[in-house]
Amino acid sequence: MMKRLSLRICSLFVFCGMFGYLSAQDNLENRIEKMLSKMTLRQKIGQMNQVNARKPDGKLYQQIRNGEVGSILNAEDPVLLNQLQKAAVDSSQLGIPLLFARDVIHGFKTIFPIPLGQAASFNPEIVEEGARVAAVEASENGIRWTFAPMMDISRDPRWGRIAESFGEDTYLSEVMAVAMVKGFQGKDLSDPSSIAACAKHFIGYGAVEGGRDYNISNIPERQLRNVYLPPFERSIQEAGCATIMTSFNSNNGIPPSASKFLLTDLLRKEWKFDGVVVSDWASVSIMVTQGFCEDKKEAAKKAANAGLEIEMVSGCFIDHLEQLVKEGAVSEETINNAVRNILRLKYKLGLFDNPYTDLRPERKIYAAEHLKAAKKAAEESFVLLKNEQDILPLGNDIKTVAVIGPLADAPHDQMGTWCFDGEKEYTQTPLEALKKQFGKNVNFIYEQTLAFSRDKDKTKFPKAIEAALKSDVILLFVGEESILSGEAHSLAGLDLVGAQSELLSELSKTGKPIVTVIMAGRPLTIAKELDLSDAVLYAWHPGTMGGPALAGILFGKSYPSGKLPVTIPRYVGQIPLYYSHEKIGRPAKKNEVLLDDIPSEAKQSSLGNTSYYLDAGFDALFDFGYGLSYTTFEYSDLTLSKDILSKDEVLQVSVALKNTGKREGCEVVQLYTSDIAASIAPLVKELKDFKRVTLKPGEQQVVTFDLPIQKLAFWNYEMKKVVEPGKFDVMVGGNSVDLLTRRFTVK
Ligand code: NOJ
């Protein structure tokens, strides 16, 4: 150790002497080159090898001592991590530290709402704070790299991983992805509480056919650039995201792990990315199954030559790259470039100077401020979909409440998918929180009735009905268990599973008011449940503090302010259904359901001549951006600073927002634009900005947005990113449908 230190100091002096002054960047690059010059080919390839260490054995320690492992995933005990690190630092020839990675997706121990729920907050601050909390807790355990955020644009709720996404919209995903990266990485990567983020999955994984996980996508380059790539680009350019993960799907027939276009031309040449590209779990070796490579050796060759740098778990690089270099099929310079990027990340994280995890006894997991942040995030993630006769919030007249359903007291399930480290013992459920917060004045009768969401056993229905009949209101907690969403959990049907829907039908026969709280990892088709309920609150999987957050909202200690980050369809058959689609020639005009109106033996005709389903019309159950509050808001006086602008100007868009109800509320004011005509069919609407505005009853505020005209740029017919002159509409409102509109012209 001492020897290495004095060597470094020496070399610093030599370089400073030679050039007089060296920037930190030059210094870093010098350290990288110096290390690289000492490495054997095998040791270099070792840095490109990521190993799964769920159960580390003697073989792994030997590989580490040989310098054949660069990073490790799935180990999280800090004592073990330090042991593995010691093998690398003290017993390998060059002492290059290991980097420990893990899927810290929406919290480490303190679990925040699933990312889809966080996106519903339309509040990047809570997303950044959540990621900061996760980084603080994970780094205490020695984890310095997370495989998050997932920023796949997700327009198919059948795809289980929609839960991990920020939903269907490009702009919202961009904003949330940037916030999450900033939270994970903190002010400086070298801070011991910073963890490197990973923008994933590059690219198109959310667009897999039919929502079937691991399937194929076919996204042409223009659409990639306009819709799918922007969150990645902004995460790198605005937040300095340190790493990128390639995806499992092949897009247009090419697996991203072997796409030179994506990994070299776009990422390195166009975006100047200087971080690290990692594969997904065995996404290199599966190229053999995908029929893209004959064997693992060819897979290693194609991936390395395309620009992939770390191979996760399938050993293709460590087993074949050396030989491939000897054969001249992969150049040593390709390997050198990869290793430069990997070493740079390790230097930036401060691992060479500080490789071990501090095992101090005072730790911040589940710290009071972490729980507070998780509760706030949960509160802001809830979306109120229906509130007939203002049944919510529940008032002082409520004396007895029937709490029913499989998710009222399900500490494991409310944490949601992709949650390795959250402990259900620390989760606070709605049942517990309701009793704790309001149990003095309110009698809560609890009937779980169904043991879990898929339970079909109806034998406990009579007890639920008995409880309902004794109560003033029913709080019904239904939805999905956490395991029904997430990776490899695609669904073909999106109705409530098990006997949940029947339970609601039976309860509705009691005539008691019903408040249905839905905890789920995705939009579910809940048209029937909506009709049978007086109020519906969509709570996603809200995490550790979901219970206290829900209890407070239901009884009016706080209020809902979330908006849908994704469309809720009426029927699975309508999918994909998303607001920001391309303009079509014959758009549906009204939501006609004509199936039963067609006479038998009807003559050939095109009926309404528009784009809709005979049996389902065309509209969604709830549109993107929708969400109610306990108060009402009125929008008026949409004004523009100018009607005609040049491309470099900024348009000021103002709208008057008034709280017309009786309670304080927070409204997410949304600004959309629409290009009237362009060189490619434009999108009907695109979210371009939003603001959360809190108003007291009767209060009015003028909300102003600065809209740089450059925000209207898109990849056009000639594959150039430009603002095309012409007419545009700007629209402002509380969801993607009910909007005030003004037109302006770009010269
Ligand atoms: C597979 C998943 O697709 C990816 O998102 C995750 O980070 C890796 N496994 C590692 O667990």
Report CA-CA distances (Å) from 342 to 53, 83, 281, 351.
19, 22, 18, 12
Return the DSSP state at 248. Answer: S
Residue 485 is given by DSSP the state: S
639 forms beta bridges with 654
Give the Å distances, CA to CA, from 183 to 4, 106, 128. Answer: 33, 11, 4
Does residue 147's CB lie within 6 angstroms of at least one atom of ligand 1?
yes
Give residue 13's pLDDT. Answer: 46
Q: CA–CA separation, 288 vs 286, rounded Å?
A: 5
| Phi-psi group of 405: left, alpha or beta (phi > 0 → left; psi -120 to 50 → alpha; rest → beta) | left
pLDDT average, residue stretch 381-408? 98
Place 303 in a pLDDT band, splitting at 50, 70 and 90: very high
Alpha-carbon separation of residue 287 from 214, 262, 303, 317 (angstroms)? 12, 16, 9, 13
The model's confidence at residue 719, banded by pLDDT at 50, 70 and 90, is very high
DSSP letters spanning 64-118:
HHTT--SEEES---HHHHHHHHHHHHHHSSS-PPPEEEE---S-SSSPPPPHHHH
Domain borders along the chain are 20-348, 374-554, 633-746
Equal CATH topology for 20-348 and 374-554: no
Pick from 165, 198, 245, 314 the residue to mutate for probing ligand 1's pocket: most ligand atoms within 8 Å of its CB: 245
Ligand 1 contact via 200 beta carbon (within 6 Å): yes
What's residue 605's pLDDT? 86
**623 a catalytic residue:** no
Contact 488, 208 (CB under 8 A): no
Query: With 60 as the cut, is the pLDDT of residue 7 above it?
Result: no
Q: Does 380 have pLDDT greater than 90?
A: yes
Q: 470 or 54, which is more confident?
A: 470
Residue 487 Cβ inside 6 Å of ligand 1? The answer reads yes
Confidence of residue 12 (pLDDT cuts 50, 70, 90): very low
Q: What is the per-residue pLDDT for 22?
A: 61
103 Cβ closer than 6 Å to some ligand 1 atom: yes
What is the rounded CA–CA span in Å between residue 101 and residue 243? 12
Average pLDDT over residues 37-54: 97
d(CA 237, CA 221): 20
Chain segment 675-712, per-residue pLDDT in tens: 999 999 999 999 999 999 999 999 999 999 999 999 99
Q: Does domain 633-746 have CATH number 3.50.30.30?
A: no
What value does the mean pLDDT take over residues 658-684?
98
| Residues 635 and 740 sit within 8 Å (Cβ to Cβ) | yes
Q: How many CB atoms lie within 10 A of CB 62?
A: 13
Question: pLDDT band for position 9 (50/70/90)?
Answer: very low
* For residue 568, cis peptide bond before it (omega within 30 degrees of 0): no
Quick check: helix, strand or coil at residue 389? helix
* Dihedral angle of Cα 704, 708, 712, 714, to the nearest 10 degrees: -140
- Does residue 280 have its Cβ closer than 6 Å to ligand 1? yes
Residues in Cβ contact with 145 at an 8 Å cutoff, skipping those fewer than 6 apart: 71, 99, 100, 101, 102, 195, 196, 198, 242, 243, 349
Rounded Cα distance between 669 and 100, Å, is 41
How is residue 269 annotated by DSSP?
A: I
Lowest mean pLDDT, pick from 70-84, 144-158, 589-603, 647-661: 589-603
Contact by Cβ (8 Å): 482, 415: yes
The string of pLDDT tens digits covering residues 496-509 is 999 999 999 999 99
Mean pLDDT of 60-68: 97
Cα-to-centroid distance, 270 and ligand 1 (Å): 26
pLDDT class for 14, splitting at 50, 70, 90?
very low
Q: Averaged over 340-366, what is the pLDDT?
A: 95
Going from the Cα of 499 to the center of ligand 1, the distance in angstroms, rounded, reads: 32
Mean pLDDT of 15-20: 46
Q: Which of 156, 169, 280, 623 is catalytic?
A: 280
pLDDT (tens digit, 9 = 90+) per residue, 495-554? Answer: 999 999 999 999 999 999 999 999 999 999 999 999 999 999 999 999 999 999 999 999
Q: Is the pLDDT of residue 10 over 80?
A: no
For residues 388 and 134, the answer to whether their CB atoms sit within 8 Å is no
Helices marked H in 240-367: 260, 286-289, 296-306, 316-326, 332-348
d(CA 697, CA 658): 8
- Per residue in 177-196, pLDDT (tens digit) is 999 999 999 999 999 999 99
DSSP string, 599-626: PTTPPS--TT-SB-BTTTBS--SB-TT-
pLDDT in tens, 164-175: 999 999 999 999
End-to-end C-alpha distance for the chain, whole angstroms:
64
- Return the number of other C-beta atoms located less than 10 Å from residue 496's C-beta: 24
For the segment 367-386, the average pLDDT, to the nearest whole number, is: 98
Quick one: angle between helices 500-508 and 461-469, nearest 10?
Answer: 40
Residue 505: helix, strand or coil by DSSP?
A: helix
Compute how many other C-beta atoms are within 10 angstroms of the C-beta atom of residue 531: 11
pLDDT at residue 24, rounded to an integer: 82
Integer CA distances (angstroms), 435 to 409, 504, 547, 548, in order: 12, 23, 10, 10
Identify the residue whose C-alpha is closest to ligand 1 atom 8. Answer: 281
Q: Tokens 């309860």 correspond to what residue?
A: 507
Backbone angles phi, psi at 180, to 5 degrees: -70, -40
To test the pocket of ligand 1, the residue of 72, 208, 247, 487 to mutate (highest count of ligand atoms within 8 Å of its CB) is 487
Report the topology of domain 374-554.
Rossmann fold (3.40.50)
Cα 447 to ligand 1 centroid, rounded to whole Å? 37
- Between the CA of 107 and the centroid of ligand 1 the distance, in Å, is 16
Q: Is the CB of 375 under 6 A from ligand 1?
A: no
The pLDDT assigned to 556 comes to 98
Tokens of 446: 């609890």
Domain 20-348's class? alpha beta
**280 C-alpha to center of ligand 1: Å?**
6
- Rounded to an integer, what distance in angstroms lies between the CA atom of residue 486 and that of residue 480? 11
What gap in Å lies between CA 149 and CA 503, rounded to an integer?
Answer: 37
Preceding peptide of 201 cis, ω within 30°:
yes
Region 272-286 average pLDDT? 98
Q: Return the pLDDT at 5.
A: 46
Ligand 1 atom with the smallest distance to the CA of 74 is 11
Residues with Cβ within 8 Å of 632's Cβ and at least 6 positions away in sequence, in order, are 659, 660, 661
Mean pLDDT score of the chain: 96
- Gap from CA of 39 to ligand 1 centroid (Å): 30
